[in-house]
Amino acid sequence: MSVTTEREIDTGTAYGLKPRSYKVELVEVGPGTPMGELMRRYWQPFAVSKDLTSEKPHKVRLLGENLIAFRDKQGRLGLVHENCCHRGSSLYFGRVEEDGIRCCYHGWKFDVKGYCLDQPAEVDGGRNRAKIRQPWYPVEERYGLAYAYMGPPEKKPVLPRWEHLENLEEDEHIEILWNTIFGTRDVEPYNPLHFNWLQAFENTMDSPHLPWLHYWHSCDQFTGLPLLRVDGDDDKLPPYAHIKNLAGQIVAARTELGVKQGVPMPVPGQGIFLASNEAMVPNIAVVASLIDLMYFVPQSDTSFLNFILKRAKKGQTFDNFNEMHFGKTWWEMTEEEHRASPGDFEAQSSIGQLPAHNYEHLSQGDVAIGLLRRRLEEAVRDVQEGRDPVGVQFEADAPPLRIGAHDMIPWNDAA
């Protein structure tokens, strides 16, 4: 037998680590949840307008609810509960007609506001049909998107205009960009990514990941984006590769509608420029110079998709958004290629289907994320305590909303 010697005790091991948990009030979006109720105070985009043809009904999954969108043959758009209020069959198998949609099972017809127009087998087409209504949501269309208002009827705001998307020149239009990471758009409901929306939304306030993930780790993933590069100066680092002490240089602040943060990018021969993004309550972002509006729309607690708008000139193309990696779309890449060049999808989705906030250690580089979370928590509390959340307008002639983010501007350390 040997003598027991003093042993060094390990510290910091994973033994006793608590199970994952997250801030419920920021993450969950179903009916009655704090964030779900906040999101329901705003018009949420659910489809690209031109996808909503009159030929067939369209499946929509939004904030944990299953809905059916249809455009009647007169062109009016409707969004109703998926299950027919008669006996529950899905209106996905319904038929779109001149003035409404008919359920396949017994032919009850509803208009875009859910009113029951016909019950073919009932006496006189349904003597009591006026009492029947398919649960519905108000919809409007603007900037090429279809929006729904899913909140309390008495709180319905006007669908906002955005100053930077108005007053288009003759050769301008609003382009809708589809994030190719989501795959093709020809599915119903649209292909979502299967993790929580917040993990993606916060990425817009995360400048440090830009140089690390997209340049130093994964070998210059933004070759297709001219604004993050120096033209004619290919042998130098692109501006977005600047990383040293970056966290200390971030400029972050509250804006009227949310939070903005700016990050310096040194452009060789031209000095340092500041590019800023804005994240607005509850789920809209602006990515300076690249994206004019970007919605992070949850289909459920663990799935979401983006609708992206950009003011564009006639003939302007956006191939950079369809960029290939290894000559493949994201979903064609092999596991090894994903590991060799992880991108936003890998970084965000590998957190898990839901975040683990209790494991996080936010640092100075996360300053804008911290601000955004507080801003969201405030807005959640506003709704809970009976106040209208930020950015909601009720006047029919309300002025367009104004974003706080700006394009790349000259910058110095004192800024």
For the record, the structure tokens of 156 come out as 């319905």
Minimum distance between the CB of residue 196 and a copy of itself, rounded to whole angstroms? 11
Footprint of a copy of itself on residues 26-65 (CB under 8 A)?
A: 31, 40, 56, 65
3-state secondary structure of 340: helix
Residue 26 or 174 having the CB closest to a copy of itself? 26
Residue 171 or 394 having the CB closest to a copy of itself? 394
Q: Sign (positive/negative) of CA torsion 222, 225, 228, 231?
A: positive
Q: Taking CB under 8 A as the rule, which mask of x and - marks residues 184-223 in contact with a copy of itself?
A: ----------------------xxxx-xxx--xxx-----
In which residue are the tokens 């519905």 written?
Answer: 136
Residue 149 or 182 having the CB closest to a copy of itself? 149
Pick from 245, 226, 288, 239: nearest CA to 268 = 239
Contacts 24+ apart (CB under 8 A), 297-300: 297/44, 297/45, 297/46, 297/62, 297/197, 298/29, 298/39, 298/62, 298/63, 298/64, 298/196, 298/197, 299/61, 299/62, 299/63, 299/64, 299/189, 299/192, 300/29, 300/30, 300/61, 300/63, 300/64
Burial pattern 370-379, b for ≥16 Cβ within 10 A else e, equals bbbbebbbeb
Residue 212 or 318 having the CB closest to a copy of itself? 212
What distances in angstroms separate CA 255 from CA 1, 232, 281, 390, one per listed residue?
Answer: 71, 36, 10, 11
Number of residues engaging a copy of itself in binding (CB under 8 A):
100
For the record, the structure tokens of 262 come out as 């700016």
Residue 235 or 395 having the CB closest to a copy of itself? 395
Q: Is 331 in the site for a copy of itself (CB under 8 A)?
A: no
Residue 176 or 201 having the CB closest to a copy of itself? 201
Residue 7 or 314 having the CB closest to a copy of itself? 7
Minimum distance between the CB of residue 358 and a copy of itself, rounded to whole angstroms? 10
Minimum distance between the CB of residue 318 and a copy of itself, rounded to whole angstroms? 26
Pick from 228, 224, 181, 139: nearest CA to 328 = 181
The angle at the Cα of 333, spanning 330 to 334, to the nearest 5 degrees, equals: 145
**What residue type is assigned to position 351 of the chain?**
I
Q: Is 272 in the site for a copy of itself (CB under 8 A)?
A: no
Footprint of a copy of itself on residues 343-402 (CB under 8 A)?
A: 346-348, 350-352, 355-356, 359-366, 394-398
Residue 177 or 330 having the CB closest to a copy of itself? 330
Footprint of a copy of itself on residues 144-173 (CB under 8 A)?
A: 150-154, 156
Q: Is 106 in the site for a copy of itself (CB under 8 A)?
A: yes
Q: Taking CB under 8 A as the rule, which mask of x and - marks residues 230-269 in contact with a copy of itself?
A: -------------xxxxxx---------------------
Which of 119, 191, 261, 289 touches a copy of itself by CB under 8 A? 119
Q: Is 130 in the site for a copy of itself (CB under 8 A)?
A: no
Q: Is 128 in the site for a copy of itself (CB under 8 A)?
A: yes
Pick from 271, 265, 250, 260: nearest CA to 214 = 265
Pick from 121, 138, 125: nearest CA to 40 = 138
How far is CA 197 from its chain centroid? 7
Q: Is 123 in the site for a copy of itself (CB under 8 A)?
A: yes
Which of 34, 36, 100, 114 touches a copy of itself by CB under 8 A? 114
Residue 48 or 351 having the CB closest to a copy of itself? 351
DSSP labels, 217-267: ITT-TTTT-GGGS-TT-TTSPPGGG--TTHHHH-EEEE-SSEEEEEEEEEE
Q: Taking CB under 8 A as the rule, which mask of x and - marks residues 294-313 in contact with a copy of itself?
A: --------------------
Q: Is 70 in the site for a copy of itself (CB under 8 A)?
A: no
Which of 24, 104, 253, 415 touches a copy of itself by CB under 8 A? 104
Which of 75, 124, 317, 413 touches a copy of itself by CB under 8 A? 124
Minimum distance between the CB of residue 143 and a copy of itself, rounded to whole angstroms? 22
The angle at the Cα of 255, spanning 290 to 390, to the nearest 5 degrees, equals: 105
